[in-house]
């Protein structure tokens, strides 16, 4: 069975919480791994609320070092210590801001009896497993800020008609995958001749940023783009001053990148409903959803 990526919005507010929206954080779950993208205040409580196993967190990817995206790390790492965790936890933060994360780890001299590796982020691939990679790209905010691309490795798929026509049956499939070529009825069949390489799933996370050409480039053809939409066009002056995006601007990024779906987040507390944001974005890109806390999608 092909793997899925489960994406859960844990906190979708911007800067301050509301009754409906908590501080910024998203969880990606893939093959049992939990990856957190930002970790605002209350993230661990949101994880418990939405049924995410805290002990499965492998890495935290911090977009930037503002408190609304980082303060939840302090509580989460201490809860993990209470589970007798031994596995390392990796935390990625823009290079030069490692001290911000480290201060959250040591301020009360808590006993954290498992390795925590804080790594300064720069552009390029920063995290890699046998199944997927995460790479970083520079955004445009008031301080150093990065977006992240979750990229599943390409998958090789058998072309059923070609495989059958070549005489491949049953255990021969696994043998061909292992060896790269086999003989069938005296004829050499190569893996490339009966398979195709299918792109893996691609999800992009870009928050606290002005709309950027690099986001369009990195998001090209993505299955899902998670992009901030703090404001509407009526508040564009604020968006420019504070280096955030409007719903229209986020939708234009999605349209230019030809993504399959746009998920808007980091909604300003001034917006009591999603109506204006959604209407504005969908006028540009129909495949838009405004995320609420707990919103879950499988990719």
Average pLDDT score over residue span 199-207: 96
278 and 292 Cβ atoms separated by less than 8 Å: no
- Report the range of poorest mean pLDDT among 21-30, 147-156, 210-219: 147-156
Residue 139 has a pLDDT of 98
78: pLDDT strictly greater than 90? yes
- How much of the chain, in percent, has pLDDT values that exceed 90? 82
295: pLDDT strictly greater than 80? yes
Q: Which of the following is catalytic: 31, 33, 38, 68?
A: 68
Higher pLDDT, 44 or 196: 44
- Three-state DSSP class for 197? strand
108: pLDDT strictly greater than 80? yes
pLDDT band of residue 117 (cuts 50, 70, 90) is very high
Tell me the chain's radius of gyration from C-alpha atoms. Answer: 21
- How much of the chain, in percent, has pLDDT values that exceed 70? 91
168: pLDDT strictly greater than 80? no
- Three-state DSSP class for 212? coil
Average pLDDT score over residue span 68-72: 98
Q: What is the 3-state secondary structure (H, E, C) of 47-67?
A: HHHCCCCHHHEEEEECCCCCH
CB-based contacts of 101: which residues, under 8 Å, 6+ apart? 62, 65, 70, 73, 91, 93, 118
Start-to-end Cα distance in the chain: 14
3 and 152 Cβ atoms separated by less than 8 Å: yes
Q: What's the mean per-residue pLDDT of the chain?
A: 93
pLDDT band of residue 115 (cuts 50, 70, 90) is very high
Distances (CA, A) of 124 to 53, 118, 212: 29, 17, 17
Question: What is the C-alpha to C-alpha distance for residues 227 and 265, in angstroms, rounded to an integer?
Answer: 6
Average pLDDT score over residue span 282-299: 98
Question: What digits encode the pLDDT tens for the residues 206-227?
Answer: 999 999 999 999 999 999 999 9
The tokens describing 165, both together, are 């026509």
pLDDT band of residue 256 (cuts 50, 70, 90) is very high
Q: Sketch out the chain's domains with CATH numbers.
A: 5-154+199-298 (3.60.15.10), 156-196 (no CATH)
Average pLDDT score over residue span 144-158: 90
Residue 280 bridge partners (DSSP): none
33 is catalytic: no
Average pLDDT score over residue span 156-168: 68
Question: What is the C-alpha to C-alpha distance for residues 13 and 19, in angstroms, rounded to an integer?
Answer: 10
Question: What is the C-alpha to C-alpha distance for residues 218 and 203, in angstroms, rounded to an integer?
Answer: 10
28: pLDDT strictly greater than 80? yes
Residue 163 has a pLDDT of 63
pLDDT band of residue 60 (cuts 50, 70, 90) is very high
CB atoms within 10 A of CB 177: 13
């Amino acid at each position: 069975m092909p793997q899925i990526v489960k994406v859960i919005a844990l906190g979708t507010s911007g800067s301050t919480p509301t009754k409906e929206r908590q501080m910024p954080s998203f969880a990606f779950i893939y093959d049992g791994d939990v990856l957190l993208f930002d970790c605002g205040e209350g993230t661990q409580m949101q994880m418990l609320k939405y049924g995410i196993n805290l002990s499965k967190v492998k890495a935290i990817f911090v977009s930037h070092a503002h408190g609304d995206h980082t303060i939840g790390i302090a509580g989460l790492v201490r809860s993990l210590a209470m589970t007798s965790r031994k596995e390392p936890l990796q935390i990625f933060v823009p290079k030069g801001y490692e001290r911000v994360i480290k201060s959250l780890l040591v301020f009360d001299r808590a006993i954290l009896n498992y390795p925590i590796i804080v790594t300064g982020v720069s552009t390029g691939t920063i995290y890699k497993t046998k199944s997927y990679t995460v790479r970083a790209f520079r955004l445009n905010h008031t301080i150093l800020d990065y977006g992240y691309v979750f990229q599943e490795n390409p998958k090789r798929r058998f072309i059923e008609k070609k495989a059958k026509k070549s005489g491949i049956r049953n255990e021969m499939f696994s043998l061909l995958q292992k060896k790269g070529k086999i003989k069938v009825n005296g004829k050499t069949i190569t893996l490339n001749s009966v398979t195709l390489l299918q792109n893996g799933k691609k999800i992009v996370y870009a928050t606290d940023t002005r709309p950027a050409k690099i986001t369009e480039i990195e998001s090209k053809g993505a299955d899902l783009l998670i992009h901030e939409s703090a404001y509407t066009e009526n508040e564009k002056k604020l968006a420019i001053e504070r280096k955030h995006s409007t719903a229209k601007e986020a939708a234009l990024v999605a349209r230019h990148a030809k993504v399959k779906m746009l998920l808007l987040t980091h909604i300003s507390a001034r917006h009591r409903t999603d109506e204006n944001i959604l209407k504005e974005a969908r006028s540009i890109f129909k495949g838009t959803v405004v995320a609420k806390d707990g919103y879950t999608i499988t990719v």
